[in-house]
Amino acid sequence: MPSLEVSGVTVAFGRAKALDGVALAAEAGRVTGLIGPNGAGKSTLFDVVSGLRRPLSGRVRLGGRDVTRMNPARRSRRGLGRTFQRLELFGRLSVRDNLLVAAELGPQRRHAARAVDALLDRLALTDVADLAADALPTGLGRLVEVGRALAVRPSVLLLDEPAAGQDAAETERFAALLRSVAADGTAVVLVEHDMSLVMAVCDVVHVLDLGKVIAVGPPEAVRRDRTVVAAYLGA
Ligand code: ADP
Ligand code: MG
């Protein structure tokens, strides 16, 4: 059973359908890529999965349980974590406190301080732990956001362009982190424009275009798919 299962999801903004009958599954232990041109509907799909936007139709299941009518807080308690395309950190709080706020909501709340120290270490953020989050460059800020999502120990982790603003060395470390998070048994869903990162870390990729899934498969096959190539070239 997939950790996350989306079926038949349709969302309209006015007359335009941002999502049109979308299905997606993400399994524990795997990194599932979600790619597609700007405006394809990727962030909207994350909003539907996390409960920030109610779909016109369709279902969302977490660990087999239908959560379509659950609010975002309950979904998060059921193991859903996410990051946002636009950073949503507590800018004046330190990096450590940003993670601590999240850890105190999670299953390790009694040992939150210790869990946060381990997480800072894992993310290589220990050196900047006492800086205010808004003092960090974007690439590091995104890492803090990923840390905040991880602090809640999610079973499903949605990442919306987490590597945007990272340099090549940061992206390489980030790829290793994603593999290790998946290896812990998390179902990771990655929205990402950096195709070399997608190729390096994803087990399977879903391609969205104009609100529809136009291809699903292993990254190498998807990259060669003619419909996918045409969508990216605007043909
Ligand atoms: P992506 O993340 O793939 O770039 P989005 O999910 O942000 O795409 O957007 C999908 C489509 O829905 C786009 O056409 C976008 O303009 C539209 N859209 C997104 N959010 C809103 C909104 N709050 N109101 C109206 N249209 C929106
Ligand atoms: Mg987006």
Q: What is the pLDDT of residues 62-80, one digit of tens each?
A: 999 999 999 999 999 999 9
Three-class secondary structure of residue 218 per DSSP: coil
Interface ipTM above 0.90? yes
Q: Is 102 in the pocket of ligand 1 (CB under 6 A)?
A: no
Residue 57 backbone class (left: φ over 0; alpha: ψ -120 to 50; beta: rest): beta
The predicted model scores a pTM of 0.94
Q: What is the pLDDT of residues 179-224, one digit of tens each?
A: 999 999 999 999 999 989 999 999 999 999 999 999 999 999 999 9
Ligand 2: centre distance to CA 117 (Å): 31
**Rounded Cα distance, 134 and 145, in Å:** 12
What DSSP element (H or E) covers 33?
strand 31-35
Instruction: Return the residue whose CA atom lies nearest to atom 22 of ligand 1.
Output: 13
Q: Parallel, antiparallel, or unpaired: how do β-strands 31-35 and 80-82 relate?
A: unpaired
Query: What order of strands is seen across the sheet that includes strand 212-217?
Result: 80-82, 156-160, 187-191, 31-35, 204-209, 212-217
Asked whether residue 147 carries a pLDDT value surpassing 80, the answer given is: yes
Structural domains in the chain, CATH included, are 4-79+154-233 (3.40.50.300), 90-153 (no CATH)
**For residue 85, which amino acid is it?**
Q
